[in-house]
Amino acid sequence: MSEKDLGQKWDRCLADSAIKFGTGLGLGIVFSVVFFKRRTWPIVFGSGLGLGMAYSNCQNDLRSHYVLHSKVAKEQ
């Protein structure tokens, strides 16, 4: 993996983390106001979910260079 690819992957990771954190926060706020009587824990839970999804995406993206990719041949 070249330095340029690595840099782009890290940029994608950071942007993705920000987006997922914001989405999780927003959805947490919506759920907290609508269902859970404006408590704090859905907001924290949503943000945590977002960060976790971003971490998992980053991990897969950074590993994808070293993982064997295969295709299933169609049966004739």
Sign of CA dihedral 44, 50, 51, 53: positive
Nearer to another protein, 63 or 74 (CB): 63
**Angstrom distance (rounded) from CA 24 to CA 41:** 12
CB of 2 to another protein, least distance (A): 18
CB nearer to another protein: pick between 69 and 74: 69
Q: Min. distance of Cβ 23 from another protein in angstroms?
A: 4
Q: Is residue 58 within 8 Å of residue 17, measured between CB atoms?
A: yes
> At its nearest, how many Å lie between another protein and the CB of residue 38?
13
Q: Which residues bind another protein (CB under 8 A)?
A: 12-13, 15-16, 19-20, 23, 26-27, 30-31, 34-35, 53-54, 57-58, 61
What's the number of CA atoms in the CB half-sphere (13 Å) around residue 13? 16
